[in-house]
Amino acid sequence: MVKKNLVLVGHGMVGQRFLEEFLAQPGAARDWRVTVLAEEARHAYDRVRLTSWFSGTSAEELALCGDSFVAEHGIDLRLGDPAVAVDRERRTVTTGSGQLIGYDALVLATGSYPFVPPVPGHDAPGCHVYRTLEDVAAIKEGATTARVGAVVGGGLLGLEAAGALRAMGLETHVVEFAPRLMSLQVDDGGGAALRRKIEELGVVVHTGAGTQAISTGADGRVRAMSLSDGTELAVDLVVFSAGVRPRDQLARECGLVVGERGGITVDERCRTSDPHILAIGECAQAADGRVYGLVAPGYAMAEAAARELTGEPGSFTGGDTSTKLKLLGVDVASFGDAHGSTPGALDVVYTDTRAGVYKKLVIGEDGALLGGVLVGDADAYSVLRPLAVSRRPLPAPPEQLLLPASAAGSSAVGGAALPDEALVCSCHNVSKAAIRAAVTDQGCTSVREVKACTKAGTGCGSCVKLLGGIVEEELAATGVELAPGLCEHFAHTRAELYEIVRVKGIASFSRLIDEHGTGEGCDICKPVVASILASLGNGYVLDGEQAALQDTNDHHLANLQRNGSYSVVPRIPGGEITPDGLITIGEIARDFGLYTKITGGQRIDMFGARVDQLPQIWQRLVDAGFESGHAYGKALRTVKSCVGQTWCRYGVQDSVGLAIELELRYRGLRSPHKLKAAVSGCARECAEAQGKDFGVIATAEGWNLYVGGNGGMTPRHADLLAADLDRETLIRTIDRFLMFYIRTADRLERTAPWLERLEGGLEHLREVVLEDSLGICADLDELMERHVGTYQDEWAATLADPERLRRFVSFVNAPGTPDPTVRFVPERDQIRPARPEEGGGHRVPALVAGPELEVRTR
């Protein structure tokens, strides 16, 4: 049997999806010989995650296709050899290398190209587009010698580019011609909320302004940008992200019909005006007259084209343009009729400008959800989007769907509220019914198996939370218990991973995931494993592989604040401090122009330090005998105390001495969540010990130990674990309580919910730590002694190592240069972060250490 020739032009995300769908069709591999012409010299990769390349994701990790896929299916893949001409009469394609390839069917997946406004200077050195891996590599190289960057375009990709520039230390501007950011996705209210959040991060936003010209210096490189509102920006790097245009030139030149505004015209089965040629993705104008610039509609077109070529039913009548992503750390989502263009539609809006949250639902005359906008809090997106697509009546009043979960009268709406036909995964067109069938008919018993079976959750990932809920509900209905895995990369719980690491002596994430997990890990499992490794004493948290696992604050051993500055909190055990210590902290705060505040945990917090100033501040603190207070870590924070019997006429024990002993014993102890403690010298409870993770109250006979207390949004009174303990027994009991908690708690689970979840509750805890009912107390004691014996101050360890100090700079290419976006205004004789509308300014007097600090005033 002679095989027919299929030629695919383009090997991007949509092209690769077409190959997967086509080769999965019955008889496709038997009947067709496949040739792929790729313009780039690399396999298809995930452009949606392109920005992650700046934070360390490798090109290999972004790849969607490898040599094994090509070899397995016998594909003739020609990298770096694009199609340059099509002869429709002879049915041949000419490649860039001059090769002539015949076809029986031709699929065009040429995608789009970035639109660059034809302004003077747009092609000067220092100007970039944001489309390929080569583009982002060029931007990163250019950023090494740049100080100020501007992004032309305030859409999805433009804001991602702005985030990348900001992360590389550049003062960053966003220039958007429309009156608001993300004008296609969000409304005025959502755009305003998004702008406020982004400007709080130090990015300067210019809306309603176009780029007029880009000026160059004597060396021919970018030096300035002129805007239509008269603004002049001194910039030395420009990224154009002002939208894309369909790459339809190949089709135009061979005479195919194209849309009036571009895009190869196709019907519902993705056929062009030539019956032997199909077009999919961003290069095509769909049957509804639209050119879709999102990956989900492109995938749907790829599936329709694959079915067309193999005679299977399927068509593309329109795509879901819903989007959910995190831009510069801000959650943004848009779905359905987000702008309320449907006649008779009504809006229900919730706004919290203090928290930077904006939510809008568009409700039809029949009460059905038509669409919505979510900014600052998009947790409900996974449920709301399929509700809007299904056009079913809402399962609850709209205000309950918008209010925070903690608000009175609100209730969470999960997957149970969705009809079976609701589209849960728009990237792969997977309905709730298909997910349920994977459990009931295909025997899947975990989210991972359902993903493999249906492909749901393997695209953008925004539906994973909803997917997990549906799978859990379906398994419960069939009497099967859902596997309690930590995430898709580990089938084990956090407690199980702790035991694996402890028993096998594993000292790295890579070994753990190689031996007991799958894939590369994620933002769920990496910090969890980092905490486990640290709690078991596996070295300095920022050495080698460990550094890549840490949360944001741990990366710089300080707390990141809203304007990009950091706060420094030295440890003050028990709240006891000498006059010399107070003077040292005061002098440092004065010399570096920091804001100071006494915390609720009896410490002094110093706010407003630039990242490059942190080592200078630490050095002076360490020299004066201070060490890190671990305010940035999931670790022991403080052991608060009253003055006890030493000074107080009601005190019956030395509460300060015990608080200091406990804080020094447990300092640096990494745990699933932060730990707070207190010691009160009598029953009057001035240290509020019964609201802490562990609290001690003095009695005439000894000490009462309380555990599982919690403040915050869900306060919980601590429970009395043991009474009238002597000092030695008290400390041993606390040791075991803490290590048992660290050993068995779930990720980000504080002691209060852990104790409530613990089977057997408080009585079981007593049996474990006081009576050794599980026979593990010797292990718990040994683990605590190992912690106490191996503790090292992370600030001092950093200062002693020049290699570690290299990470503490505002700009890697200009280590001594302060970050100009970190700005403050004076208030109550101190400083606070400047708001976006507060311009102008003056400077505070020169600091003793470091460059001058700019202060912006009203």
What mean pLDDT, rounded, does the chain reach? 86
Q: What is the pLDDT of residue 91?
A: 96
Q: Are 220 and 125 in contact (CB under 8 A)?
A: yes
CA dist 583 → 381, 619, 808 (Å): 51, 15, 26
Mapping DSSP to helix (H, G, I), strand (E, B) and coil, where does residue 179 land?
coil
Poorest-confidence range of 49-53, 389-393, 831-835?
389-393
Q: In which residue are the tokens 């190289």 written?
A: 141
C-alpha neighbours within 13 Å on the C-beta side of residue 618: 25
Which two three-digit tokens encode residue 51? 């920005």
Region 544-563 average pLDDT:
74
pLDDT at 858 > cutoff 50: no
Q: Are 616 and 849 in contact (CB under 8 A)?
A: yes
pLDDT at 406 > cutoff 50: no
Residue 840 pLDDT level (bands cut at 50, 70, 90): very low
Q: In which residue are the tokens 């992503």 written?
A: 325
Q: Are 733 and 722 in contact (CB under 8 A)?
A: yes
Which of 740, 730, 785 is closest to 762 using CA atoms? 740
pLDDT at 163 > cutoff 80: yes
CA distance 622 to 53: 36
Ordered by where they begin, the domains of the chain are 4-113+246-309 (3.50.50.60), 116-242 (3.50.50.60), 322-413 (3.30.390.30), 418-483 (1.10.10.1100), 494-550 (no CATH), 634-776 (3.30.413.10), 824-855 (no CATH)
Q: What is the pLDDT of residue 819?
A: 65
Which of 199, 193, 156, 195 is closest to 360 using CA atoms? 193
pLDDT at 407 > cutoff 80: no
Phi-psi region of 314 (alpha: psi -120 to 50; beta: other; left: phi over 0): left
pLDDT in tens, 784-809: 999 999 999 999 999 998 888 887 87
Mapping DSSP to helix (H, G, I), strand (E, B) and coil, where does residue 435 land?
helix
Q: Are 636 and 608 in contact (CB under 8 A)?
A: no
CA distance 632 to 727: 30
CA distance 736 to 784: 8
The residue among 797 and 473 whose pLDDT is bigger is 797
Q: Phi and psi of 439, rounded to 5°? A: -80, -50
Mapping DSSP to helix (H, G, I), strand (E, B) and coil, where does residue 4 land?
strand
Q: What is the pLDDT of residue 734?
A: 97
Directed axis angle between helix 727-744 and helix 777-790, to 10°?
100
CA dist 283 → 110, 261, 286, 697 (Å): 6, 12, 10, 71
**DSSP-assigned beta bridge partners for residue 172:** 149
Which two three-digit tokens encode residue 120? 């003077």
Q: What is the pLDDT of residue 810?
A: 62
Q: What is the pLDDT of residue 817?
A: 60
Mapping DSSP to helix (H, G, I), strand (E, B) and coil, where does residue 753 land?
helix
Q: What is the pLDDT of residue 186?
A: 87
Q: Are 364 and 370 in contact (CB under 8 A)?
A: yes
pLDDT in tens, 88-116: 999 999 999 999 999 999 999 999 999 99
Region 439-448 average pLDDT:
82
Q: What is the pLDDT of residue 282?
A: 94
Residue 314 pLDDT level (bands cut at 50, 70, 90): confident
Q: Are 607 and 653 in contact (CB under 8 A)?
A: no
Residue 1 pLDDT level (bands cut at 50, 70, 90): low
pLDDT in tens, 418-437: 778 777 887 777 888 888 88
The residue among 608 and 416 whose pLDDT is bigger is 608
pLDDT at 215 > cutoff 60: yes
Region 607-629 average pLDDT:
93
Burial label for 56, CB within 10 Å (0-12, 13-18, 19+), is: exposed
Q: What is the pLDDT of residue 653?
A: 94
Q: What is the pLDDT of residue 68?
A: 87
Q: Phi and psi of 331, rounded to 5°? A: -75, 130
Q: Residue count of the chain, please give it.
A: 858
Poorest-confidence range of 132-146, 252-266, 432-446, 720-734?
432-446
Poorest-confidence range of 60-69, 381-390, 759-768?
381-390
Please say whether the dihedral angle defined by the alpha carbons of residues 806, 807, 809 and 811, taken in this order, is positive or negative. Answer: positive
pLDDT in tens, 46-92: 888 888 887 777 888 889 988 889 998 999 999 999 999 999 999 99
Q: What is the pLDDT of residue 815?
A: 57
pLDDT at 845 > cutoff 70: no
Mapping DSSP to helix (H, G, I), strand (E, B) and coil, where does residue 108 land?
strand
Region 311-327 average pLDDT:
80
pLDDT in tens, 249-258: 999 999 999 9
Q: What percent of the chain has pLDDT over 90?
A: 50
What pairing do the DSSP bridges indicate for beta strands 222-227 and 232-233? antiparallel
DSSP H helices in 213-328: 249-253, 295-309
Q: What is the pLDDT of residue 854?
A: 32
The residue among 183 and 457 whose pLDDT is bigger is 183
What pairing do the DSSP bridges indicate for beta strands 32-37 and 76-78? parallel
CA distance 173 to 428: 36
Q: Are 579 and 623 in contact (CB under 8 A)?
A: no
DSSP H helices in 315-409: 381-390, 398-402
Q: What is the pLDDT of residue 26?
A: 83
DSSP H helices in 66-187: 67-72, 133-143, 156-167
- Distance of alpha carbon 744 from its chain centroid, rounded? 26
DSSP single-letter state for residue 394: P
pLDDT at 743 > cutoff 50: yes
Residue 401 pLDDT level (bands cut at 50, 70, 90): confident
CA distance 673 to 675: 7
CA angle 229, 232, 238 (to 5 degrees): 105
Q: What is the pLDDT of residue 405?
A: 52
pLDDT at 844 > cutoff 80: no
Q: Are 608 and 560 in contact (CB under 8 A)?
A: no
Which two three-digit tokens encode residue 494? 């956090």
CA distance 165 to 173: 9
Report the C-alpha dihedral over residues 384, 388, 391, 393, rounded to 10 degrees: 30
pLDDT in tens, 690-715: 999 999 999 999 999 999 998 765 78
